[in-house]
Structures are given as C-alpha cells and as structure tokens.
C-alpha cells in the first residue's frame, strides 16, 4: 500500500545505536513516524518516494542539546528560522534552545512563542527554560508550568547558579518533574575580567585567565547536590580534566550526572587564540592540551554522554573589537558533524556508531525526548543521512546562520550531512 506521506530510504548503512543496528538496511518513514526498518529490498514499493543513501550512513536525527537561537530579542545575531536552517544544514533535526534571550525565557508564554509555527523553524525546537526568574539567581521559575509549555530542561546558562541552597532546590524541584537541571559550570566569583583560559598563553597575551578550578568546583558541588536530592544534573560544555574526573566519579557512585562536550573543546586549545583572534574566544574558554586529551579519553570511555555545539552567533561588530570586550562564543551547527567525524573518528579512531550515539541516542535520553534518537519503528521520522567520507571545505560566507563568527572558515573536513529529514520531510539536501 502506497501512502502519500511516505519516504523509503534505501541502500544506506543504518547506524542506530539505540536499537543495536549497524548494517545495510532500508528505512520506511510514514506519517511522521518510522514505519519499518528491514533488509534491503524488503520494503520495495511501500512508499511514494525513495531516497538513495548509497555510501551513506542513515542515522537517527541528530539532537543538539545546546544552541542559542537568539530569539526573542536578538534577531540581529540569529533568528529561530536562520538558526534552525543552519541546524538542518549540519544534520541536526532537533535543537535545544537556551533561555538567555531578551527577555530571558523564564515563562510559559515565551516558551510557547519559541515553538510557534510563525517562527519558521526548519527543525524541532525544544526550549530549555530559565531555572530562576530572569536568570537572576534568586527565585526558582515555575518548572511545572514551563514543562507543560514544552520546556524539556531548566538552566541559567551563562549565569550559573552559585547559591548552594538554590541549586539544591532546583535539582529537587526538577527531579519531581523528571527533567534535568543544566549547569554552565563556572564560579563567576573566580572569573571576573577573564577572557580566556588561565595558562602560558593568557600570561603571554596579558589577559586574565579562567582557572580549571572555577569549572570543577561547581561541577563537584552540583554532583554532590544531585546525589543528595536524587536529581539529575547535566553539565553543559564540560571543558576541564578535573570536571571530567568529577563526572566520572559521580557516575561510578550512581549519581544521576550527565555531560556534554563541544566540538571546539575537543579540537582546539588555548594557544589557538594566537594574537587575540576573537573567533577563538568562548566560554568556557579553549583549554590546555592536557584538558583536550582528557576530553577525548572521556568521550571514548563514555564519561561524556553527548556532543553539543553551544552554537552562539554574534554580529561582526560584536567580535571586531578589543579581545577583552568581544562577545564570547562561536557558531557551530554546520561544522559539528564534520569535526566529530574528522577529529574523533578519523584521527582518534572512535567508531562511527559512537559518533552517532553522541549526537542522537544519548542526547535524546539525557533530555527525555521520547521516541527520538532512534530509528526503532514508532519513533518520530527524524533522520540524518551523512557521507562519512565526503571531503569538503567550510565557507563561512555561505553559512545558513545569520552570523559568521566561526574559527573554521576555510577549514577542510571529512564527513558531511547529505540529507536531513524532520518529521518525514527532507528539510536539507536530497
């Protein structure tokens, strides 16, 4: 029986870690769901259209746990439409949008506004709402109302929750709703005026540096509180070996802690700042070679659960200023997969199914995105088809994002999304 809204993906290598599948299979998408996954040829004739994925990996749609879409309020940097177009081009079918918008997303109204069809999102947008009112670190927001409106986690990203009491209460309240508290782990009392990592490069450049301890102290504290409250703390963009070690210990102790790492933290180091290149300024900052090596190890041994981009678009004039005055952050949606394949798979030998797991199954599990991150029948029809051998060069001027603040302009990579399918529809490529 042929269905109007159906798509058969043929001849690809299906890599679906959640289902334990890594072999050539055909995937039938119908009415917004995965209808079947079967041996090549078995599903022939069951769909209106077909997609030839020969030579490509067919993976569950990638999920980015950490993006800044800048709407409402900062449309000069990015809009939900442009940010999700960049996501689609990078192979992401879902993005989790941070609440540091203007105003801060601390309400059900803004949470719903971000998901409204009028925003023109090309991929699924899951808001992560503010944990405290205005992210002021004083009073918790209404987690239940936010969850009901569609928020899948809470955080005060960029303005970490420093108060022990408040973090305790946030974890406790979130645990009742079965959602994680996401923490940007930075003891901002230790990082005033800092614009990069503390080390030989910051000393040479005469810049105040952030210590590893400023991150690790907060991660240690949060893990202890997660243990005490039986809550779930998710460490955003983990960057130091000490914080990684804390997560490793926490997991061993059975505490519900998860962690994400960005492509730039497992690829670049603080020395790359060079002579004050603001495209290498982000928070957390690029760290030392030892930290980078530890992150690669943490990815390999499973301490790190997910790859997230921390896609942080900024206008030219916000980066073309004195280094210390420049905005923190870089774009990342269109380069994440390529960096993961090039650095983790090609260079460090991480199996492709692990790369896929870090981008799909694990993020779905961490944020509780039901029926996503897998191609098991009944799942949402979100799929990423990528060519793990395709060589290409990133041209920032062609980016779908509204901003161009990337260190990777002109870099050559291996691995690229060929088609991005959301809800059964090809939103990129094809």
User: Which sequence positions are flagged as catalytic?
Assistant: 310
How near is the Cβ of 209 to other proteins at its closest, in Å? 9
Q: Phi, psi at residue 190, to the nearest 5°?
A: -105, -5
Q: List the interface residues with other proteins, window 279-318 (CB under 8 A).
A: 317
How near is the Cβ of 278 to other proteins at its closest, in Å? 9
Contact residue for other proteins among 75, 205, 293, 315 (CB under 8 A) = 205
Between the alpha carbon of residue 135 and those of residues 102, 221, 272, 310, the distances in Å are 11, 19, 32, 18
* Residue count (the chain): 430
271: how many CB neighbours lie within 10 A of its CB?
Answer: 15
Name beta bridge partners: 353.
none
Which residue number, 181 or 198, has a Cβ lying nearer to other proteins? 198
**Helical segments of 230-288, H only:** 241-252
Which residue number, 101 or 405, has a Cβ lying nearer to other proteins? 405
How near is the Cβ of 335 to other proteins at its closest, in Å? 24
Segment interacting with other proteins, rule: CB under 8 A, options 193-201, 216-224, 377-385, 413-421? 193-201
CA 215 to CA 271: how far, in whole Å? Answer: 19
How near is the Cβ of 280 to other proteins at its closest, in Å? 12
Contact 367, 299 (CB under 8 A): no
Which residue number, 20 or 206, has a Cβ lying nearer to other proteins? 206
Contact residue for other proteins among 207, 233, 358, 364 (CB under 8 A) = 207
Contact residue for other proteins among 4, 254, 275, 349 (CB under 8 A) = 275
Q: Using the Cα atoms of residue 188, residue 330, residue 301 and residue 179 in order, give the sign of their dihedral.
A: positive
Which two three-digit tokens encode residue 266?
A: 């497992």
Q: List the interface residues with other proteins, window 21-80 (CB under 8 A).
A: none
The alpha carbon of residue 177 and the mean position of all alpha carbons in its chain are separated, in whole angstroms, by 22
Which residue number, 205 or 300, has a Cβ lying nearer to other proteins? 205
Contact 186, 240 (CB under 8 A): no
Which residue number, 203 or 392, has a Cβ lying nearer to other proteins? 203
Contact residue for other proteins among 245, 276, 346, 430 (CB under 8 A) = 276
Q: List the interface residues with other proteins, window 314-343 (CB under 8 A).
A: 317, 320-325
Between the alpha carbon of residue 274 and those of residues 265, 281, 327, 376, the distances in Å are 16, 11, 17, 46
How near is the Cβ of 199 to other proteins at its closest, in Å? 6
Pick left, alpha or beta for residue 282 (phi over 0 → left; psi -120 to 50 → alpha; otherwise beta).
Answer: beta
Interface contacts to other proteins, rule CB under 8 A? 198-200, 203-207, 275-276, 317, 320-325
């Amino acid at each position: 029986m042929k269905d109007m809204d159906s798509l058969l993906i043929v001849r690809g290598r299906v890599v679906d870690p959640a289902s334990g599948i890594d072999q050539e299979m055909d995937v039938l998408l119908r009415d917004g769901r995965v209808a079947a996954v079967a041996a090549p040829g078995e599903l022939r004739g069951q769909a209106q259209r077909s997609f030839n994925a020969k030579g490509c990996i067919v993976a569950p749609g990638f999920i980015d746990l950490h993006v800044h879409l800048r709407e409402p309020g900062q449309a000069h940097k990015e809009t939900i439409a442009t940010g999700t177009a960049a996501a689609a081009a990078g192979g992401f079918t879902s993005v989790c949008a941070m609440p540091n918008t203007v105003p801060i997303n601390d309400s059900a109204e803004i949470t719903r506004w971000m998901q409204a069809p009028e925003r023109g999102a090309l991929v699924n947008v899951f808001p992560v709402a503010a944990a405290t009112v205005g992210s002021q670190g004083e009073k918790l927001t209404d987690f239940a109302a936010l969850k009901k409106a569609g928020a899948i986690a809470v955080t005060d990203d960029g303005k970490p929750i420093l108060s022990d009491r408040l973090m305790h209460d946030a974890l406790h309240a979130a645990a009742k709703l079965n959602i994680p508290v996401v923490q940007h782990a930075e003891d901002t009392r230790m990082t005033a005026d800092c614009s990069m990592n503390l080390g030989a490069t910051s000393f040479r450049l005469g810049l105040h540096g952030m210590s590893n301890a400023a991150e690790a102290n907060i991660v240690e504290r949060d893990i202890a509180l997660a243990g005490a409250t039986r809550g779930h703390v998710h460490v955003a963009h983990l960057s130091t070996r000490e914080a990684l070690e804390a997560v490793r210990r926490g997991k061993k102790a059975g505490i519900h802690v998860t962690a994400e790492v960005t492509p730039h933290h497992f690829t670049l180091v603080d020395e790359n700042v060079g002579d004050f290149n603001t495209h290498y300024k982000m928070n957390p900052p690029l760290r030392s070679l030892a930290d980078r090596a530890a992150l690669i190890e943490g990815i390999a041994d499973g301490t790190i659960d997910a790859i997230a981009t921390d896609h942080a678009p900024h206008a030219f004039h916000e980066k073309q200023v004195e280094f210390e005055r420049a905005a923190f952050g870089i774009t990342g949606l269109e380069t994440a997969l390529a960096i993961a394949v090039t650095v983790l798979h090609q260079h460090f030998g991480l199996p492709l199914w692990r790369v896929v797991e870090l981008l799909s199954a694990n993020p779905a599990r961490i944020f509780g995105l039901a029926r996503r991150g897998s191609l098991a029948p009944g799942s949402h029809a979100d799929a990423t088809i990528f060519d793990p051998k395709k060589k290409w060069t990133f041209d920032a001027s062609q980016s779908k994002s509204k901003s161009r603040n990337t260190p990777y302009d002109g870099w050559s990579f291996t691995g690229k999304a060929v088609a991005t399918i959301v809800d059964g529809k090809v939103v990129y490529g094809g």
